[in-house]
Amino acid sequence: MAEATMAKNQEICLAMLRDSDRDRYLACLLSPEERRGALAALYAFNAELARIRDLVHEPLPGEVRLQYWRDLLEGSAHGSTAANPVAAALLTAIETHRLPRQTLIDIIEARTFDLYDDPMETRLSLEGYAGETASALIQLASLVLSPEEAARSADAAGHAGVAQAVAGLLLLMPLHRRRGQVYIPLQILSATGLDRDVFLAGEDRPRISAAIEAFAGLGREHLAKARGAGPIAPAVFPAFLPATLAEPVLVRAQKRGVLLFDRPLQLPQWRRQLQMGLAAARRKI
C-alpha cells in the first residue's frame, strides 16, 4: 500500500510538471526510471514555489504559503502530509536520497524575494539568488542521480544555475515589468544610465537594450564558466538538462534587447525538446 501511494504521488508530480514546467518534465523522462519519481518531486516542489506570486495579490498570503513548506521541512507541519501529494513525494525523496533539508529551506528563503517589488541591488545579489534557487536545484537533482558524482560537478552546477536563472528571468521580463518587478541588478542599470523607474517606464529604449544585453551577457559568462568547469559525469548529466536550454534565450536577448518586450524569446516546444534530446545524447551543456 505504501509503495502504491508513493508511486501515485510521484505520478501526480509528473502530471503537474507536464502542465506547469514542460522542460523539467522532459528532463525527468530523459532520466533513469528509478530516479524519475524523486526528480519529479523536487521539480514539482520548485514549481509550487515559483507560482506563488501568480496566485496571490499581496505578499502576506505568499509568506503564508512559503511558511507551509518551511514547516514541512522543519518537521512542524500542521495536518496530514498525505493530503498534499507533492509534499509527501518530496519527503519521500528526502528520506530515500538523504537530501539536505537546509538546502531546500534556503530555496524557500530565496523565493521570498519574488513576493515583493524590491529591486535586485547588485550582481552579487543576483548570483546569490540564482545560486540558492536554480543552482541548488541542479545540485539536489545530482544527489538524487548519483551522490558519488554530485560533488564533482558542484562548480558546474553553480554556474549553470546562474545561466539558467538569468535566461528564465529574461523570459519572464515582460511579466515582471507589468508587475513592477526588476531583476536586472541596479548595478547594471546604473552602468547603462538607468534606474528602476526609468527601466519600468520603458521609454529610454536604447539604454534599456544595453541593460538587457549586459544582463544576458552575465548569463553567458556563467554558462562559459560552467562549460569550463570540466566534464560532467554521465550519471548526473540529466540534472543539467534544463540548463541546456539557456543559451538560445541568452543569445536572442542580446540580439533583441528591448524588443524582447514585443516578441517572446522562448523557442517553440518542439525545438526545446529536440535541443534537450541532443544535449542528453552529447552530454554537453
**For residue 39, what is its C-alpha cell?**
526528480
Q: In terms of domains, do 58 and 183 share one?
A: no
More confident residue, 142 or 5: 142
Query: Would you state the pLDDT for residue 128?
Result: 97
Closest listed residue to residue 149, CA positions, set 35, 33, 13, 23:
35
Write down the pLDDT at residue 1: 45
* Pick from 185, 167, 176, 182: nearest CA to 285: 167
Element (H, E) at 23: helix 22-29
**To the nearest whole number, what is the mean pLDDT of the chain?**
94
- The percentage of the chain sitting over the pLDDT mark of 90, rounded to a whole number, equals 92
Three cell numbers, residue 273: 525538446
pLDDT value, residue 83: 80
Torsion angle (degrees, nearest 10) of CA 51, 54, 60, 65: -30
> What's the domain range around 2?
1-100
User: Both 141 and 84 in a single domain?
Assistant: no
Of 273, 278, 281, 282, the closest CA to residue 24 belongs to 273
6: pLDDT strictly greater than 90: no
C-alpha–C-alpha distance, residues 202 and 255, integer Å: 18
**Model pLDDT for residues 14-32, shown as the tens digit of each residue:** 999 999 999 999 999 999 9
Q: What is the mean pLDDT of residues 84-100?
A: 96
Same domain, 76 and 129: no
- Residues sharing a CB contact under 8 Å with residue 252, sequence separation 6 or more, in sequence order: 260, 265
Residue 122, in any domain of the structure? yes
Looking at residue 228, which CATH number applies to its domain? 1.10.600.10
pLDDT in tens, 203-260: 999 999 999 999 999 999 999 999 999 899 999 999 999 999 999 999 999 999 999 9
Residue 277: inside a domain = yes
Q: What is the C-alpha to C-alpha distance for residues 32 and 25, in angstroms, rounded to an integer?
A: 13
Same domain for 160 and 87: no
Segment 60-87, tens digit of pLDDT: 999 999 999 999 999 876 666 668 999 9
> What's the 3-state SS for 171-208?
HCHHHHHHHCCCCCCHHHHHHCCCCHHHHHHCCCHHHH
Q: List, in order, residues 6 or more apart from 15 with CB less than 8 Å away.
A: none
At 4, the pLDDT band (50, 70, 90 cuts) reads confident
Residue 18 placed within a domain:
yes
Instruction: Count the domains in the chain.
Output: 2
